[in-house]
């Protein structure tokens, strides 16, 4: 019989091996935040290029002032769930404003985006139901599926033919089937084939949930996400998302025209048993949503920066996602090469996300940038120069005879 904690031994050994060859990414300390794009990290100035702060609103004066006023007037927290302690007026106002923004009838707000997926998926589905998920879906979607007790079937990433094949096998069970995809996938920044998926959903009579966590404020004429950009909002039954990207806070939501979403809060364990969002978070989120709605120039700057960084890194020979996006992931070679590159970027004053197996969907090693509207042209230049400098310094290990990054 093994000891309860024995399972952690391999993890401890893996972490020790990592710290021998690099800085432990879990012990990189952001000591002071200077702006949406700058910080002091382990004692050194750093450009933040991995924050998901797409619209750069974390330091917006109006968002900060709204949060400060809410703290002064309502205190620091709610100290309980909405079921037990009641809803604050701000919770109801935020739900109304989100529903109105998306043009939907109903909205539920959760304490985190992760809990939004857990709570919605597990409330909508159960034993006897089927969930069809894109293989590259986020961990919170997988966990919500496990919690639901429904039968879970994966289809190949963005493969509509594979989705159709699996729906055809279900026959009449399609009426009890929920298809789940994401707007922008968080590892490579690629879009779902949502127009084709919506057609397929209608053909087979299933339901469709789209996680717009990374596409809220990024895609669509009004920033409502990929469903708006693709022109299929009327085919999407449920939209789930988070406040922790474009809205610069923390929390999650689900909007829908199905009245059952409002009833779902009575059976959603993550909603019932979690303390509700604190007043300052609700207030800053409402202010950020208003910014998103009234300042489209933020989205223009974001995409200018994203296209520039994507084009520059592609020109340097890095293997990137299939199209420009605020999420720009460079696929490198082996894990050791990726760790060395990440450390080199830190030495150059640039912080990005290091993704090692098995976290990446295809088992690859990635350096993932997320671009912000708040990045200045000079900062984009410095990020590009850092990638070029580290690539040159490690060229003997990272490049083949044609000068391209090894796959």
The single-letter DSSP state of residue 6 is: G
Residues noted as catalytic = 186, 214, 245
* Alpha-carbon torsion (336, 338, 341, 343), positive or negative: negative
The tokens of 252 are what?
Answer: 């999650």
Q: Can you tell me the distance from the alpha carbon of 57 to that of 249, in angstroms, rounded to the nearest whole number?
A: 9
* Alpha-carbon torsion (225, 245, 243, 239), positive or negative: positive
Tell me phi and psi for residue 100, to 5 degrees.
-65, -40
In this structure, the strands spanning 207-211 and 238-242 are: parallel
Under a CB-based contact definition with an 8 Å cutoff, are residues 170 and 177 in contact?
Answer: yes
Q: Can you tell me the distance from the alpha carbon of 223 to that of 219, in angstroms, rounded to the nearest whole number?
A: 5
Q: Can you tell me the distance from the alpha carbon of 368 to that of 327, in angstroms, rounded to the nearest whole number?
A: 7
Q: Can you tell me the distance from the alpha carbon of 80 to that of 77, in angstroms, rounded to the nearest whole number?
A: 8
Q: Which residues contact 395 (CB under 8 A, 6 or more apart)?
A: none
């Amino acid at each position: 019989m093994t000891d309860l904690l024995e399972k952690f031994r391999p993890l401890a050994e893996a972490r020790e091996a990592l710290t021998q060859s690099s800085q432990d990414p879990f012990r990189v300390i952001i000591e002071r935040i200077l702006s949406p794009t700058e910080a002091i990290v382990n004692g050194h100035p750093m450009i933040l290029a991995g924050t998901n702060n797409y619209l750069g609103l974390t330091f917006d004066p109006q968002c900060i002032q709204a949060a400060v006023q809410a703290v002064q007037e309502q205190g620091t927290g709610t100290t309980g769930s909405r079921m037990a302690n009641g809803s604050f007026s701000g919770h109801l106002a935020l739900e109304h404003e989100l529903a109105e923004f998306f043009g939907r009838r109903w909205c539920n707000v959760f304490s985190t985006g992760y809990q939004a997926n857990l709570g919605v998926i597990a409330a909508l589905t159960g034993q006897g139901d089927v969930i069809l998920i894109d293989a590259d879906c986020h961990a919170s979607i997988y966990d919500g599926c496990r919690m639901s007790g429904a039968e879970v079937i994966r289809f190949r990433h963005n493969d509509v033919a594979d989705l159709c094949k699996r729906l055809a096998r279900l026959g009449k069970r399609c009426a009890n089937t929920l298809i789940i995809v994401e707007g922008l996938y968080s590892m490579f920044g690629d879009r779902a084939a949502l127009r084709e998926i919506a057609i397929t959903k209608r053909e087979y009579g299933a339901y469709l949930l789209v996680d717009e966590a990374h596409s809220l404020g990024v895609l669509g004429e009004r920033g409502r996400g990929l469903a708006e950009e693709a022109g299929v909002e009327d085919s999407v039954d449920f939209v789930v998302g988070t406040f922790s990207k474009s809205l610069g806070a923390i929390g999650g939501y689900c909007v829908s025209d199905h009245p059952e979403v409002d009833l779902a809060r009575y059976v959603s364990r993550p909603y019932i048993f979690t303390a509700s969002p604190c007043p300052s978070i609700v207030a800053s989120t409402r202010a950020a949503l208003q910014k998103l709605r009234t300042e489209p120039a933020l989205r223009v700057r974001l995409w200018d920066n994203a296209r520039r960084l994507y084009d520059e890194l592609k020109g340097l020979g890095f293997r990137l996602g299939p199209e420009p996006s605020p999420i720009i992931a460079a696929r490198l070679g082996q894990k050791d090469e990726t760790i060395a590159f990440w450390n080199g970027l830190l030495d150059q004053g640039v912080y990005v996300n290091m993704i090692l197996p098995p976290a990446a969907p295809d088992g690859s090693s990635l350096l993932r940038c997320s671009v912000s509207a708040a990045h200045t042209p000079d900062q984009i230049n410095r990020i590009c120069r850092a990638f070029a400098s580290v690539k040159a310094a490690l060229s003997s290990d990272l490049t083949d005879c044609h000068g391209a990054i090894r796959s």
